Chain A
Amino acid sequence: MTTTTRPTPAADQGYLDRLRQGKLDLRWLRETRSEWGVRARPSKVGLTLMDIAIGSYGEVPDRPPRRTMAPRGSDVDPEVPDLGYTINEKAEVWSDNVLELYEEAVARQWSATRDIPWRDLPELDPDLEHAVCQLATVLSEVEMVASDFPAKWLWRINHDFVEAKMFLCTQIMDEARHTEVFRKRALANGGGLGKASAVTERFLQLVLDAQSYDEGSALMHLLGEGIVLSLFRAGELVAPSAVEKRIFRLCMQDEARHVAYGTMHLRYRLERDPSLAEDFHAYLDRGEDIIAALFSTPEVVEPTAVLAAGGVAAASELGLAAANVVRTQVVEEYLARCARAGLDRRSRLRLPSALLEGTSAAVPMDGQSTGQA
């Protein structure tokens, strides 16, 4: 194994000698070329990122001149090393709502240990407990990819986009908490973890193996998290007790923030480079193929149906009817977010026609079914 040796800074002996003689340097005090006299005023909830986005400090360059961790707006030593960031274009990670979303994320953190009334969990019918645990298994499995993906790309993002990096840090914490809360739910009432399916893992692999942040963000923020948000909504409806309802509502809030970032990030990206639309379509084509497979996976579909029906006996009729209603909402909300981002997916949806029944994508303008089996 070879290692790269980088020069290590040596102590400035001359400065240390002068310091011992009581001679301070003070050039940092007298000669710093950053904006002086800027006074950020706190708004009603405190001093927010929006409040400090003032003067030159609020200007986020489209293409930063350096690749360093030097705080944006500081007077940067010309001898700073190049830290090798690979994402150096603002449009690659930015969204116009990212400052607000960061503030909201920090203010709306919760604890899976303390904020869930675990002691109130009621004893459930074994089939219902199995269904809750299987749903919790799937969610505990898929949520961590939304930590892993931003973590994989975070260190490659230029530090001048620090607000976007900070938001992604909140997402990493949010998703860790979701993994935690569903793992805890599976173990809290006598059920335990259920089955992890290969199909689910293949979608996670697609996100993790994304060749670019663009690709991974479209797959995760827009497609994956949008669908999980709808799953959380459905989970809240069919939850057998107030304990699970609270879990799903709290997770729903976090997930909606991530989707809001993903939607507006894609919009920001496409507004500045519309030629990328076809690339994003291709990413989502691949993602939708796997989502279609997910929607036909028993471990994903059936627990919600059993919970909706209140048991296995009625699940095939009542529960699946409820699941169809939820699926319609999933597709409609996904299409609306794509449209808001500037990407019309109605004519390109890759979901099988059986999954599109009842949605606006089922019969396009030319009367042809768009779903591809």
Chain B
Amino acid sequence: MPFPPPGFFEAMAEAVETEPDRFRHLGIASLRLCVLVEHPSGPPTAYGLVLDGDDVLPLGQVEPSAFEPEVTVRGPEEVWAAMAADAAAHGAASGSQTLNALTLAGFPLAVEADDPLGRDKFFRYAQTLQELFDAAATRAAGAQNLGRPSVA
């Protein structure tokens, strides 16, 4: 299964827009996050995500050196895809499929940052990020099931 499914990161912004109380309750954040997807062949694909106050800005594919992320989460496409599938199936990531669980040991996903404060930001916004990824996974899966090219 490819990752990200169509509209995955855009669905995060839509979730914040359509469920403002849920995400406002989690509080403001300030983060430049790069999601790096390693494919079975070919170069990895980087996606930029900016958390700015109450807003979430998906930047789509980015060049990491130009995007200058505070933290990068890197891992194989199949791991990202399994995470999204689990969240879509359960409504939220379960068991060892949460972002924290997948990154804790440095594998199968790794948290990388030039600055340890950037790395710690991944933990400072742990619940926000988890709920954003959960929402994106369920919305993207719902859109795919409806046969739409992207989430509504």
Interface residues of A (CB under 8 A from B): 43-45, 97, 100, 103-104, 107-109, 229, 233-234, 236-237, 242, 245-246, 248-250, 252-253, 255-257, 259-260, 263-264, 325-326, 329, 333, 336-337, 339-340
Contact B124 A263 (CB under 8 A): no
Category for how many chain B residues contact A: 20 to 34
Q: Does B152 interact with chain A (Cβ within 8 Å)?
A: no
Name 5 interchain pairs, CB-CB below 8 A, sorted by A: A44-B53, A237-B104, A246-B127, A260-B121, A339-B116
Interface residues of B (CB under 8 A from A): 26-30, 52-55, 92, 94, 96, 98, 100-101, 104-106, 115-117, 119-121, 123-128, 130
A-B contact sample (6 more), CB < 8 A, given A44-B55, A253-B125, A263-B120? A104-B28, A104-B29, A236-B126, A249-B98, A337-B120, A340-B117
A289 to B54, CA, bound (A): 42
If the complex has contacts A104-B28, A107-B27, A233-B100, are A253 and B126 also in contact, measured as CB distance less than 8 A? Answer: yes
Q: Which residue of B lies closest to A236 (CB)?
A: B100
Please give, as numbers and ranges, the residues of chain B lying within 8 Å of A245 by CB-CB distance: 98
B31 CB to nearest chain A CB (Å): 11
A277 to B119, CA, bound (A): 24
Contact B100 A249 (CB under 8 A): yes
Closest A-B pairs by Cβ, 3 of them? A108-B27, A107-B27, A256-B124
B52, B94, B98, B117, most chain A CB atoms within 10 A: B117
Q: Which residue of B lies closest to A105 (CB)?
A: B27
- Please tell me which one of the listed residues B26, B98, B120 contacts residue A260 in the complex, with CB atoms under 8 A apart: B120
If the complex has contacts A45-B53, A234-B104, A260-B117, are A253 and B124 also in contact, measured as CB distance less than 8 A? Answer: yes
Please give, as numbers and ranges, the residues of chain B lying within 8 Å of A326 by CB-CB distance: 104-105
Contact A237 B101 (CB under 8 A): yes
- Please tell me which one of the listed residues B94, B100, B101, B119 contacts residue A252 in the complex, with CB atoms under 8 A apart: B100
